[in-house]
Structure 1
Amino acid sequence: MYTATYPQDSTLRRHYESAKRFAADQPPSDSVLRRHYEQRRLAMTQGSVRAAAPRPAPAPKPAPAVTPARKPQQPATTQEARNDGGFFAWLKRFFG
């Protein structure tokens, strides 16, 4: 193996390779990256077991609940009608 930073001395080369292996085995310090790292390691160790495991049957759907009939809406009063239009309508009414 040759890279510009790869040492030529055998002792230094051995330390360089062990440091590289040590750095590769360390999980990332960031929480999100560590979670993905652990998921990949778990998938690599259980890859064949996971594919062979049967999937659980989906849970049965509950029967829809009966809702009571709604009352018809009453017409808005003048005060409620005045509040319609949002913030910009309020500003327009405020500044006239």
Structure 2
Amino acid sequence: MPDFEEIASLEEFGSADRLEVFIGDTPALLIRIHDQILAIEDVCTHDGQTLTKGCIEDGAIVCPRHGARFDLVTGKALCMPATKPIQTFEVEVRGQKIYVRH
């Protein structure tokens, strides 16, 4: 099983709720919801659009292009036009550093 890798720090978020990163070769988003940090693949499985600017609502991110919704914890596609899940990553926060398993 792969080890955790340091990806970012909490300070890098500033006042934003998301941070664009790469996890290995995968474009990803770190998303801060209250005190929780989640990590998801930053590519809609419907058409390859980035999810970076998608709205976050009710524990899901909405693709800004066609409105597909993905669960932020499981990656599950919640509505059409997406039918395949996005990848999610296990996150650990240690002090101010954010680590992700990939």
TM tier relative to shorter chain: under 0.3
Higher strand share: 2
Higher helix share: 1
Q: Given the two structures, how large is their TM-score scaled by the length of structure 2?
A: 0.19
Q: Given the two structures, how large is their TM-score scaled by the length of structure 1?
A: 0.20
Asked which structure has the greater RCO (Cα within 8 Å, sep 6+), the reply is 2
